Structure 1
Amino acid sequence: IFTRQLATLIDSGLPLLRSLNVLARQERDPVLKRTTEALSDSVQGGNTFSDSLAQHPKIFNELYVSMVKAGELGGVLEVVLERLAEFQEKAQKIKGKVLSAMIYPAIVMTMAVTIMGFLLVFIVPRFEAIFKDMLGDKPLPGITIFVITISRFAQSNWAMLIGAVVALIFGIKLLGRTSGGRSLIDQFKLRLPLFGDLIRKTSISRFSRTLGTLVSSGVSILQALNITRDTAGNTVIANAISQVHDRVKEGESIVQPLETSGAFPPMVVSMIDVGEETGQLPDMLLKIADVYDGEVDNSVAALTSILEPIMIVFLAVVVGTIVIALFLPLISIITTLQQQT
């Protein structure tokens, strides 16, 4: 919102300093308000806008600062800000769609584990006591014995189970902080059934839009590749971009190292090849990003339609198995009571 509003104000003819003051006065978020006021003070003190932005790296990343700097040098700051605003809006839209696709199965799995835990720890033991009182030493169905065994294990080892889950979560987080661990996790993500393809398409969309937006704003190809690598969000894609950067630095075309890396589909490589040959690389990169944004939309829709019945069936099987295991012995109890009467 900040970027879009600033671009609109500057495009309307307001000077940068006055535009920042207007935004600072109307901003309600205290953090962004203080940041905007600090930017205004810095610009008023004689610093360039890009240098002022660089003083707040937690809010404005290298991509943002580099594009603004290129816009300042080219005298087209309002155009660059418009591109930045569009870039941020589309990136946020794609991120939201991917998250929504992943949140649904996570919620269903959490519900399944919670319900299963409640049944095993609180309900099954009560039924076990009823079976013991009413059936004595009579053998129970195999499925009932299986559920009761799991229930006993869960009751006696609940602390260990919770500790194992917590340890696993922290272990993955610690692993992700190392370069090798991060690479392993990202490779695993790309190989995930159903989700791997979606993650790859999202990464390619981000790569194309970031590089296209930077180059079209006047940032040099080498600097643009560096920034794109640092904001790739996946080490597999980042390593491929790093190889491309090194080869381009040696004077090669961008196409050959992209193809050699194996991280990009042939269609993407071919479109970039055409864009480079025709001198329209930025436009072609943005076109690729638009194509893959559409692919992400389709993948999210397909994923949701596939996962919904799978999750419902999974939840039904888990709960249904426990319920059947508990009610099978009840049939024997009812039969015994009927015979006694």
Structure 2
Amino acid sequence: MNFAFKGRNGRGELVEGIVDALNSDAVAAQLMAGGVVPVSIEATTEAVSVAGGSNWLEALLAKPITQEDALVLTRQLYTLQKAGVPILRALAGLEASTSHPGIIALLQDVRASLDQGRELGTAFARHPTVFSTFYVAMTRVGELTGKLTEVFQRLAEHLEFELDIRARIKQALRYPIMVIIAMAIALIVINIFVLPKFADVFAHFKSELPLMTRILLGFSRWTVKWWPMVVAVGIGLGLIWRNWIATPGGRYAWDRFKLRLPIAGDIVLKATLARFARSFALASSSGVPISQALTVVAQTVDNAYIGARIEQMRDGVERGESISRCATATGVFTPIVLQMIAVGEETGELDTLMTEIAQMYERETDFAIKGLSAAIEPILLTIIGGMVLVLALGVFLPLWNLGQAAMGR
């Protein structure tokens, strides 16, 4: 039920809005926790307003909550939980200390959900763009086992690893992408503005243009004439691609193909397996049953192919098979990792060894990313060489022949 309220904050200013709550008492408790003294609370049929009563334009232009924001919020929750601050009081303090409108609205919604009797994991699940399925599942595990402080710490480490991997990959790809974009722009400018001038000059001297120049000019005229169709076809193919990978079959095929890419595939595989190992270690050390932990982790590895292999492991475990045997059947783990899983299973220290496996894969991922630029350089030089060759044949050959054309030869 929605309630319209009016109240006064600590500075005596009038505050009003609409919140979703079970009853007026829950609304009053929520307002008091946020430092607002309620003046009137009435039931209403209006919808809950967006952050701060924003209109649709403000909501559209609102700053989104990034993964960096989620990491900072998780670390703050860990610190407050470690200090023994009650969760409602902690959320109210975080709400008062941030200036991010999106985070303020998120914290208000989470507090409202808790006031209505929902669990913290359920409140987080209302914001899937900020809190992943794994984040929500681990929060619920922390609530059930009483290890919420430890869970927040592990989740912060998990998010930090994810952000670090993405930042390193972006840094490694930044220079090659800039070079390719610059060369593509040079080709477009020469093709549209330079080569047509050569065509006019050669037409004046009644001399035939070189083959490569004629090809480039033909492509230029075709592009200028049909560019709306080119743009439309590009947009159409993009939409078809997006819809295809949104299907289970398309996502599975694309994720499997990514693992087979010459350079990036090895990095994607190691990063995904590092995420799996750390997530599984976190779930196992928190007291989650192995089959349930594998189910949760399979939904959070962000790769449908690897997720299917993990579900295959879960099915084998549920049939009574050993984890090491099920891991071997997946065909994605290296022999040393399979040996470590077997030792961990025998000694009962599986979560500890899975953490070591995660650290090993993280080191290998870090090493592979550091060598990414060196691995891309030969391919980049080949692409640049091809573009220079096209420019040389298309632009410099007419210059070489221009003197002969001027002499009428």
Pair in the same fold by TM > 0.5:
yes
Whether contact under 8 Å (2:195, 2:213) holds in the other structure is no
**Residues 1:56 and 1:152: Cα distance change in structure 2 (over 3 Å):** closer
Q: Give the match for residue 214 of structure 2.
A: 145
Match of 2:99 among 9, 28, 39: 28
The one-character-per-residue Cα deviations of 1:105-133 (angstroms, maximum 9, x if unpaired) are 44443333333223222321221111221
The aligned runs of 1:257-336 (5 Å cut-off) are: 257-308=326-377, 310-335=379-404
CA distance in 2: counterparts of 1:62 and 1:187, whole angstroms = 22
Deviation at 1:229, TM superposition (A): 0.9
One-letter identity of the residue aligned with 1:171: I
Deviates more, 1:37-46 or 1:218-227: 37-46
Distance 1:39 1:307 in 2: 45
Q: Hey, what's the Cα distance between the residues in 2 that align with 1:277 and 1:111? A: 57
Q: State which drifts further: 304-313 or 164-173.
A: 304-313
Matched position secondary structure for 1:191: coil
* Residue 119 of structure 1: aligned partner: 190
SS at 1:157 equivalent? helix
Higher strand proportion: 2
Per-residue CA deviations over 1:168-195 (Å, capped at 9, x if unaligned) read 2222111101111112211221111211
The equivalent residue for 1:128 is 199
Paired amino acid for 1:126: K
- Aligned-pair distance for 1:45? 4.6
5+ residue gaps, structure 1: none
Deviations, residues 56-79 of structure 1 (Å, cap 9, x unaligned):
344323322222222223322212
Partners of 1:154 and 1:55 in 2: how far apart? 47
Match of 1:209 in 2: 278
Residues 322/200 of structure 1: CA separation in 2 closer, same or farther (3 Å cut)? same
| Whole-angstrom CA distance in 2 between matches of 1:171 and 1:102 | 26
Aligned pairs for 1:3-152 within 5 A: 3-134=74-205, 136=206, 138-152=207-221
Alignment counterpart, residue 232 of structure 1, candidates 272, 281, 301: 301
Matched, 1:173 2:242: yes
User: Are the counterparts in 1 of residues 132 and 300 from structure 2 also a CA contact under 8 Å?
Assistant: no
- Given that residues 63 and 214 in structure 1 are in contact (C-alpha distance below 8 angstroms), is that contact kept between their aligned partners in structure 2? no
Are 1:185 and 2:254 counterparts?
yes
Q: CA deviation at 1:5?
A: 0.7
1:255 aligns with 2:324: yes
Structure 2 counterpart of 1:219:
288
Distance in 2 (CA, whole Å) between partners of 1:237 and 1:269 is 16
SS of residue paired to 1:231: coil
Which blocks of at least 5 consecutive residues in structure 2 are unaligned? 1-71
Deviations 1:178-233 (A, max 9, x none): 11111221122111121111111111111111111111122221221111111121
Question: Aligned pair in 2 of structure 1 residues 293, 56: CA closer, same or farther (>3 Å)?
Answer: same
Q: Is the 8 A contact 2:198 2:398 kept in 1?
A: no
Code of the residue aligned with 2:275 in structure 1: it is R
Structure 1 residues 157 and 205 mapped into 2: Cα distance closer, same or farther (>3 Å)? same
Pick 1 or 2: higher relative contact order, CA cutoff 8 A, min separation 6. 1
- Deviation, structure 1 residue 42: 3.3
Cα distance change of structure 1 residues 300 and 220 upon mapping to structure 2, 3 Å threshold: same
Q: Distance in 1 between matches of 2:376 and 2:139?
A: 42
Distance, in Å, in 1 between the alignment partners of 2:182 and 2:219 is 18
Deviation larger for 317-326 or 258-267: 317-326
Identity rate, percent: 34
Alpha carbon RMSD of aligned pairs, Å? 2.3
Q: Give deviations 1:300-328, integer Å, cap 9, x for gaps.
A: 12121232453245235314422442222
What is the CA deviation profile of residues 273-316 of structure 1, one whole-angstrom value per residue up to 9, with x for unaligned ones? 22211211112112111111111111112121232453245235
The answer as to whether partners of 1:66 and 1:219 remain within 8 angstroms in 2 is: no
Matched with 1:2 is 73
1:147/1:322 contact within 8 Å kept:
no
Q: 1:71 to 1:194 in 2, by over 3 A?
A: same
Deviation at 1:46, TM superposition (A): 4.2
Contact 2:255–2:303 under 8 Å retained in 1: yes
CA distance in 2 between counterparts of 1:58 and 1:142 reads: 54
Distance 2:403 2:198 in 1: 14
